[in-house]
Each structure stands twice: as C-alpha cells, then as structure tokens.
Structure 1
Amino acid sequence: MLWIALHLPQLSLESFGATLAHEPGESVHTSPQPVALVDAHHIACVNPAASALGVKPGLKRGTALALAPDIVLGQADAARDAQAILGVAHAALAFTPSVTFEPPEDPQAAPHTVLLEVQASLRYFGGLNRLLKRLHAALQPLQHTVHCASAPTPKGAALLARMPDPGDGRHADGLSMLNRMLDAVPVWLLGPGREHWEALQGMGLRVLSDLRSLPRSGLARRFSEALLDDIDRARGIQPDPRDWVTLSESFDSRLELFARADTTEQVLHGASILLARLVSWASAQHSQVSRFTLHMQHEPRHRHDARTPEDSTMQIALAEPSRDIGHMQVLLRERLAHLQLVAPTLELRLHCNEVLRRAPPNTELFPTAKSEREGLTRLIERLQARLGVGQVQRLRPVEDHRPERATDALAAQASAMKNSPDSPPALQGPQRPVWLLPTPEPLPERQLRPLLDGKPLQLVCGPERIEAGWWDNALAERDYFIALAGDGALVWIYRARLPMSVSEEAQGWFLQGRFG
C-alpha cells in the first residue's frame, strides 16, 4: 500500500483569511495586514505580518492588541475549517476512492490532514511524481498551504507530513525507509506524546528514536498504551483501519464573510472560494456542473422594511456542462454586475444538485469543429450574462424567397449549439449577404448604371430572379445582382423586373445588403 498525506498547517488561518479583502494575487500569508485567530481569549495562530510585530500563539487577546493595535482578530471556528478541508478531500477523490481524514488530537477541532491510498492509481497516472504534480494542480484553486508526504502506512505518512520544515516533501518507498525517517519525528506530534510532553522532555525523550531504546512495559505504565499503539500503527506493526470519505448527493457549502459585503465585487470574492469547492466536488465524481445557485444572506438590521427578502438568490445555468472554474467565474461576474443588493450580505451559500456525468473532453493539438462550437457557446453565454437573454438574438430561416422576410430574429439559445452537427451544412442556392439593410435604399443612376457614394457600381454576378408575395399582397418581382463598389466592397442590389408593373417609387435600382 502507498499512502499520501496532505497536511494543511495553516488551515484555520486560511479558511478565515479567505473571507478578507486582499489585493489581486495577495493572500493572508503575504498580506501586510496582521491577522490572528482567537480561541478561548488566547491567540491560536498568526500570519507573518502579526508574527513580525511580536504576536505569538498563546498570548492573551489584550496583549496581542497592545503589540499590534491594527491587528485583525477572528474567532477560530471548527465548522468553518471542516468546510474548507472537505474541499481538499473532494479534490483528492478525483485520484482515488480511498480518501480519509487523520483524526485531530482535539475531538472538538476539525481535521487538518487528508490521507489518500493511491497504490492502485499509480499506473493510471504514470507514477507517483506525475500523480503528485496533478494533485497539487487540483488543489491550487483552493489556495491552501499543503505539506505532502507518502509512506506505506497512513499514520506514518501523516506524521511525515506534519514534521517541521517538510521541504519538498518526505516520501518513504518501503517500511525500512519509513522506520528510519520516523526516528526523527518529534514525540509531541503524537496525541499521547503531546499530553505528556513536559514529562517526556524532562526525561530527554524528544523524538521517536529516543523511545525505541526504552522498555515498552515501562513506557506503557508511565505514558499509557495509546502512545505505543500510535507508534506501532505508524511503523506498520499494528493494523490501522480507516473510514472513507463519501460524497453527498448534492453540493452545499456556506461561507460567512468577515465584513458585510455592500458591493457585488465583495460578494464575487467570496463566491470564487465556493466555486473552487464546487469544482472539487464535481471532479470527485468525474462530472460537470449544469446549474448552480448562489444564495446571499442579508443582514437583518440593514433591511429596509419587512418586504425586503432575507436573502437574494441567483441561479446560473450553463448551456454546456463544465467544471471550468474560470468560465463559471466569468458568468457569475457578469450576472452580479447587473445586481443591486437590497441589503448588505453577511453569508454566502452555494448549492448544486444538477451535474452531468460523462468522460472528460480529449485534449486537441489542432482546433476541431467541436471545440470551435464550444467556444461559440461560451461566447453566447457570456453575452447573455452581460446583456440579458433577450438582447442576444439569432436568425431563424423562414420559407420565403423575399430577403426581407426570409429570416426571423429569436433569442439565442446557447444550449442549442451543443446539439448542432459537427460541420455546418453546405450553402444551398445563390450566395447572399448576411447584413441586410432594414429597408432597401434607392440608388441614383448615371446612364442607366447604379451609383453608390457617387461612384458607378460594376455588376459582377447576376441576375438572380425572385418572384414571390402574390399571396399576401406584397408582390416582389426583382432581379438581384452582386456588384463591386469603388472601394472594393461587394454589395447586393436589385431592380424591378417589370418596371411598368410597379409604382414609380419602386422603380430603379436599390441597395439591399452588403457582404462582410
């Protein structure tokens, strides 16, 4: 067996810092603003900016404020951490169905380490190094600091990942190599070792190799059997059964904002975090998102009156199911740009229960008709999100030979693009321009030749004769020509086929359209 451990040493700080407003490309670790979390009136964790000012874990809240008056203090929240690490577990499920959590020392806290059993997945992904590379790429949108290690046992991998200064990661190929690496593991990384750390330190027992030279019976009497059991499970001497993470039928994740969001740009920042978790959940079941809903919970005391809703809901339906987070962010940004918040937002909730399970698309060296059609579908989706569904229209052919009545404008349906054939049908009949004038424009003549912008037109193709409309009292009897203008552009013109049979206003040459 081969286990990969993903340890998130700054999970609590990162899950809280994700709700803060940062400059583009900035995180809670690189922010110049000092940030710290408080648990039971004591500092639990700090970012580098706070640490530089002397704020350390264990200090009282008042002491931290004295050292850094402008520090941002947040409350440690195990539920918030559990939501964040669940996204990491979902990302891991895309590589193996055997994913579990390493139990935390404090039963009330959220786990900070995710374990993957990947022995059966190595051949599919091309070995451990390639699997790790793709795993880190999948975790990158979640914006967590991840320490990685691998070992033949889950407990051993978890201990190696939690060791200080992991560097590029610690990877043990077999049990003998794992046992040598475990000798350098600090005793306080074990739950019972942390409980008895002062006594162990007083006896000079700081790493696991110090315990190997002592009698097991004496260690068990002094520090309990649990300490020895943890060591044996890490070394592969005792079995270590695990409970696997299971996927829920639908996705539902919440994010409480640190400060109330008065603008949709602030809402988008928090929604991007929830979208990253949604993509991880969809990747875990190898499916693509068809529709998701964003709920924005409003602050009660800032609602204008009783008619103001408690929350605002925005539903995003994708024409082509996808788990491209960049595309979903663009659609959400365009929709939020037209939304006026009725009250400040305190909490976001993202819900999704409509996914499509299918194989991922093949990568292509050259664009194909399918990929070009997908690009057009996304363009229509983005235009509809920005301008509105009714403002993006398409032409529908109508069974009528008269050009002004041969098409009808309908609202564009981006979803219809995925059902179109792989290649467009061949043009039937004579070539016609797509750009038609709203009404035909009369053209002046010189020696019976039509003029455009004062220059004579040269007829290059025609005539195309059209006789239609006798059934609705809009008779059209025309001869159409393709003509070359003085600037080299091609235009579409016509004249009445029987001048004596039409009114004086309908006689002569007319400009019907232009070729692109």
Structure 2
Amino acid sequence: MRWIGVHAPALSLEAFAATLGAAAPLTPLALVVQHRIVAANTVAAQAGVQPGMKRATALALVPSLVLGAADEARDRQALNALAHALLAFSPSVCWQAPHTVLAEVQASLRCFGGAEALWQRMQAALAVLGHQLHWAEAPTALAAAWLAQAQAQALTPSPTPPRLCQPLPHAPWTRHLDELPVSMLGLPAPLAERCVALGLPAPLAERCVALGLSRLGELRAQPRAGLARRLGPECLTLLARAYGEEADPRDWISPPTQFDSSLELPFRTEQVEPLLDAVAVLLQRLAAWARAHQARVQRFELRLQHQTRLRASSQGEAGAHRSVLGLALAEPSADVAHWLAVLRERLAREPLEAPVLGLALHCAEPVFTAAPSGELFPELAGPDTQGLLRLIDRLQARLGAEAVHSLRLVHDHRPECATRTHPVQAMPTHPAGQSAPTAPTALPRMTRPLWLLPQAQALPERQGRPWLQGQPLRLLEGPERIETGWWDEHLAVRDYFIAGLPNGHLCWVYKPRLPSAEAATEGWFLQGWFG
C-alpha cells in the first residue's frame, strides 16, 4: 500500500486570513482563545507576539494586530476542502488529528500515469486552496501522518513526498520513523485542543521520556511485555499500526451531497474587489467538492450577510440581514475563473445593499454530465460551444437574464409567426457516460432566410416583375405556396420566391395569391434576405 499524508500546520490561521487576499502575508494576524494568543503568523511573531501571550499584551506590542477568535467550524470547512481535493484522485481518504488528511493511492498510480504524475496533479489541486502543506509517504496511514507532522514540527517543508515507500524489512521509511522523537507525542495541537500531535495522550509521552526513551525506535526496541505493563496496550497498538504490524481500519470520507461553506470577513466592506477575494476562496472549495463527486456545477447561491445599521439607534439595535445572489450557468462548469468572472459582472450590475460582514456559498446538487471533449483536435470533433455559452453567462450577469433571449421554432408556416423569443435557459445536460448528439456533417439546404424584416416591405412592379433598389429582380426558385392562418383571423395565402439582384444578393419575396386574402392585396412584398 502507498499512503500520502498531507499536513497543514497553519490551517487555522490560513482559514482566518483567507478573506484578506494578497494583503494577508503583510498583515500581523493572531488567533485568540479566552483572551490569550494561541497562534500568530510570521509578521506578528517577528514583532514579538507569541502563543500564550495575553491579548492586551499582544495589542500593546503590535497595535495593528488583527485578532480573530479560534473557530473549529471554520477549520473543519478548510480541512474538508483539502479532503475533497484528494478525493478526486483516490476514494480512500481519511482524517488524522490534527489538520492532517491521508490518501491511499496505490490503486490510483496506473490511472494517473505513475507516482510522479499523480503527485504533481495532487499538488496543483491542493495549491489553489492557499495552505502551506507538508507531505510524506509511507506504507501505513499512521506512519505517513506522523512523518508529515514531523516535517512541520521541524520546520522543514517538503514540496514533494519523500521516497519513503520501500517494502523491505529495514526500508528507509522505518528508519525515518525510528528517528522521530517521543517528545513529539506530547506536543499539544494548535488552538489548545486536547488531542496531541501524533495521537498519544500527553501523560503517556511524559512517562516515555521519564523512562529515558527519547525516540520511537528506542521505544519500539523495548520488550513488549514491559512496555505494556508500564505504558499500557494503547502504546503498543499505535506502534504496531504505524510500522504495519497490525491492521489499521479507517473510516473513509464521503463528500456531502450538498455544498455549504462560509467565511466571516475580518472587516465589513462595501467594495466589490475585497469581496471577490473572499468569494474566490469559497469557489475553490466548491470546485474541489465538485471534483470529489466527479461532477460539475450549474447553479449555486452566494449568500451575503449585511450590516443593517452601522450604529445602534433609539429605534433599534444594530443588526444584520442576508441577501441571496443566485447564479445559473448556461452549461455545467468546474472553472473557478469563469464563475468569478460571471459574479464580477453580476455584482457590478447589482450594488451591495449594505456593508458585508460574511459570506456563504450553497450548491444544492452537483451535475453529473459527460466530461468535456478529450479529442486531440477538438475542432474536428464538432462545433465548440464553450465560448458561446460563457458569453451568454456573462451577458446574463451584466444585463439580466430577462434581457438575453434566444429564438425558438413554432409550428406555424407563416414566417412572421414561425419563431418566438424566449429567455436563454440552461443547455440540456447528458448523463455521465453518454455523449451529446453530434452535429450533422452537412447542413441542409436553406430555402428560407434567417434575416426576416419586421414588416414585409412593398415592392414596385413593372411588367409583372418586382423591382428592388431601382433594379429588376430575377425569380430563381419558387413558388412556395402558403395557405394558413384562417383560425386566428390572420389569413396568409401567398406564393414565395427566391429572387436575385444583378449584384448576386438573394432575397425572399412573395405575392398574395388571392386578392381578398390580405389587406394589402396588390403587388409584391420583400420578406427577408439571405446571407
């Protein structure tokens, strides 16, 4: 087996700073629990802010320090996004405290073209989520988690998983694991959680150190009976699972059927650009969730939490309300850049009602459709409609859905009644595994023009022939006889002809066949143009 461990040591701070965009690396940030600092970023740490420091002391050192409350729900949403990104590469993904995600990828190597190609694609999928990650690889889940967390404790991030997966009795991964200090087992996790870094209770790690056992290799070398008597069976069980000597059953993660993720802004804002920086974080999580389902997204809602009154007044307290911004795409997509561009157009058309305090993104269900064309030369496989559909999305976002229409055919022989305008709706989707119907290789011969005049134009007649623009028309094809409309009192009894001008332009003309059929009974009429 081949396990990949991905550990995010600064996940709590990064989840809090996600809404700051490009200003986050330059802003001093810290998280607080019960008026004490539990985590600080590099800028704040360089100014003297340390975990355990009182909140007032930290503000005295750095007046511009941005403080946030530690929030387990916010961390869980960020960790879920990491898990969803890994689910696109392996169905066997699980958690390991703290802030570690594990994926068993042995069965995925052949599918993705080998270990190197798989790691590169996994790194690209996780990089867009904006977390500093530490990687490790091992034949067991617990070993991969411990080695990844050890890199974070030693401040030695690895951009790619080290080669730790040699299935030999004394393979390099066992030597790496043997070198891990036992004292790491007692280090508390971020945010003062009660779970410890590598899964052992802190009192157990203290007893190991008291016995003079400073590394895992030394602990494993001791007689099992003595360790069980002094430390309990839990220690032996964890060691056996880490070294692959005992089964380590895991509960696999399944992505939820609906997507919900939220962010609280550190500052209220009325500007679109800072808001879009925060929305981009939620959209990246949405894309990871969709890829975990092997699906795409066509509809989602952006819920904005507004501040109704900037200050309390005699008429009521300052409060908040929500507004919902729904987005429906012409075609299911998993492109974050396209989603963001459409939202930018929509927010430019619809100003914010009030300053925004928080954001939430909701998607009711993914759309399971066939994947985009993977042809080597897609232009030969059929017409590419992606550009047209994205243009429709942006036009609807900028002008409103009611302002963008399409033409649909109506079962009526009269040209002026044969089409109706309708708002552009979503394109029909096709179930996964089924491809969309291909376009015909040859277009049928057109006998009616696409360009029709709003009202038929009367033409002069000389010696029985219609004239247009001072030139006689030559009748090339016809007549096409139409007799219809008796049921709605708009009777049409006409003979249509395709006519040509001397310069080669083609037009569509008709002549009423019965004098009493229509109000305009004499002469010829121009109905439309070809080309």
CA drift of 1:160 comes to 1.9
Return the letter of the residue paired with 1:350.
L
Structure 1 Cα separation of the partners of residues 37 and 143 of structure 2: 30
Deviations 1:303-361 (A, max 9, x none): 9999x993222333445444333343344444444434433332323333323445644
**Correspondence 1:344 to 2:369:** no
Structure 1 Cα separation of the partners of residues 490 and 520 of structure 2: 17
Return the letter of the residue paired with 1:45.
A
TM alignment of 1:324-403, pairs within 5 A: 324-357=335-368, 360-365=371-376, 366-367=378-379, 372-373=384-385, 375-403=387-415
TM alignment of 1:92-491, pairs within 5 A: 92-103=86-97, 111-162=98-149, 163=151, 164-168=155-159, 169-174=161-166, 176-191=171-186, 195=202, 208=216, 230-263=238-271, 265-299=273-307, 301=309, 310-357=321-368, 360-365=371-376, 366-367=378-379, 372-373=384-385, 375-416=387-428, 421-423=437-439, 430-441=446-457, 450=467, 452=469, 456=471, 459=474, 461-462=476-477, 464-468=479-483, 471=486, 472=489, 474-475=491-492, 477=494, 480-484=497-501, 490-491=505-506
TM-score of the aligned structures, taking structure 2 as reference length? 0.76
**Correspondence 1:87 to 2:99:** no
Does the CA contact (< 8 Å) of 2:16 and 2:68 recur in 1? yes
Structure 1 Cα separation of the partners of residues 437 and 217 of structure 2: 68
In structure 2, relative to structure 1, the CA distance for the partners of 1:323 and 1:41 (3 Å cut) is same
Same amino acid, percent of matched pairs? 44
In structure 2, relative to structure 1, the CA distance for the partners of 1:394 and 1:248 (3 Å cut) is closer
Partner of 1:50: 44
Q: Unaligned regions of 5+ residues in structure 1, if any?
A: 104-110
Higher mean C-alpha deviation, range 391-400 or range 198-207: 198-207
In structure 2, relative to structure 1, the CA distance for the partners of 1:477 and 1:290 (3 Å cut) is closer
Structure 2 Cα separation of the partners of residues 118 and 245 of structure 1: 14
Structure 2 Cα separation of the partners of residues 65 and 221 of structure 1: 49
Deviations 1:155-189 (A, max 9, x none): 22112212131333323123621122224434443
Deviations 1:484-506 (A, max 9, x none): 586x7x35253647899999987
Deviations 1:419-458 (A, max 9, x none): 9842259766653332222123456899988454xx7577
Partner of 1:106: none
Deviations 1:356-396 (A, max 9, x none): 44564451222366663455444434433333333222223
Partner of 2:28: 34
In structure 2, relative to structure 1, the CA distance for the partners of 1:457 and 1:226 (3 Å cut) is farther
Does the CA contact (< 8 Å) of 2:40 and 2:50 recur in 1? yes
Return the letter of the residue paired with 1:139.
L
Structure 2 Cα separation of the partners of residues 268 and 482 of structure 1: 56
Structure 1 Cα separation of the partners of residues 56 and 395 of structure 2: 52
Match of 2:250, SS state, is coil
Does the CA contact (< 8 Å) of 1:491 and 1:511 recur in 2? no
Deviations 1:176-205 (A, max 9, x none): 211222244344432369858999999998
Structure 1 Cα separation of the partners of residues 294 and 403 of structure 2: 35
Candidates 500, 509, 528, aligned match of 1:494: 509
In structure 2, relative to structure 1, the CA distance for the partners of 1:368 and 1:217 (3 Å cut) is same
In structure 2, relative to structure 1, the CA distance for the partners of 1:215 and 1:435 (3 Å cut) is same
Structure 1 Cα separation of the partners of residues 518 and 350 of structure 2: 53
Structure 1 Cα separation of the partners of residues 518 and 140 of structure 2: 94
Deviations 1:53-87 (A, max 9, x none): 45444544344434433232222222211111011
Aligned residue pair count? 498
Return the letter of the residue paired with 1:412.
V
Partner of 1:18: 18
CA drift of 1:45 comes to 3.3
Structure 1 Cα separation of the partners of residues 507 and 530 of structure 2: 7
Partner of 2:191: none
In structure 2, relative to structure 1, the CA distance for the partners of 1:277 and 1:504 (3 Å cut) is closer
TM-score of the aligned structures, taking structure 1 as reference length? 0.78
In structure 2, relative to structure 1, the CA distance for the partners of 1:208 and 1:367 (3 Å cut) is same
